[in-house]
Amino acid sequence: MSPGLLLLLFLVVGAGNYLMRFLPLLIALRRRERPGQETATTGGLLPLVGPAVVVALLITSLLPGDFAPGYGAELARGAVALVPTVLVALRFGNLGLTVLTGVFAYALVALVA
């Protein structure tokens, strides 16, 4: 792909991604400005979107992308590293410490298996 086409590709995808982030936010803010809309949205579905998306992000980041050889081993390494990660999150509730524990645990598991 030529450098010009590559740049066009970045601009098109960048603009598309930006609009997918911006337009729904803009619409939500416009609706918020109308009386009576806020209670309907905050009291219903929206407070549940955060936990739903975060669990989906967790699962998709843990599951390997395809069923290539080594799929099971990769899944098992992630599952084992998840145990100390969850324990540290439960015990300390510190984001940075939890991330570092996860990385360190995964490195140890990868060294062994």
Partner 1 sequence: MSGGNQRDGMSPEGSPGFAAGLGASVPVVIGYVPAALAFGVAAKGAGLGTTEALLMSLVVYSGASQFAIVGLVAAGVPWLVTAATALVLGLRHVIYGPSLAPYLRDLTPRRSALAAFGLTDEVFAVAASSLPQRPAGLGWLLGLELGAYASWALGSLLGAAAGDALVEVLPILAPALSFALPALFVALLVPMLRAPARGAGRPIAATVLAAGAVATALHVAGFQAWSIPAAGVAGPAAGLLLSRALADRGRDRR
The single residue among 35, 36, 90, 113 that binds partner 1, judged by CB under 8 A, is: 90
73 touching partner 1, by CB under 8 A = no
The C-alpha atoms of residue 80 and residue 106 are separated, in whole angstroms, by 8
Q: Give whichever of 72 and 104 is closer to partner 1, judged by the CB atom.
A: 104
**Distance separating alpha carbons of residues 23 and 2, to the nearest angstrom:** 31
For position 54 contacting partner 1 by CB under 8 A, the verdict is yes
Smallest gap from Cβ 36 to partner 1, in A, equals 14
Residue 76 binds partner 1 (CB under 8 A): no
Please state the closest distance from residue 71 (CB atom) to partner 1, in A: 11
CB closer to partner 1 out of 53 and 72: 53
Nearest CB to partner 1, comparing residues 51 and 69: 51
Contact indicator for 85, 105 with CB cutoff of 8 Å = yes
Q: Is 71 in the site for partner 1 (CB under 8 A)?
A: no
Q: Identity (one letter) of the amino acid at 61?
A: S
* Cα–Cα distance for residue pair 85/42, rounded to 1 Å: 31
Q: Which two tokens stand for residue 96?
A: 């940075």
- Residue given tokens 């509730």 in the structure block: 93
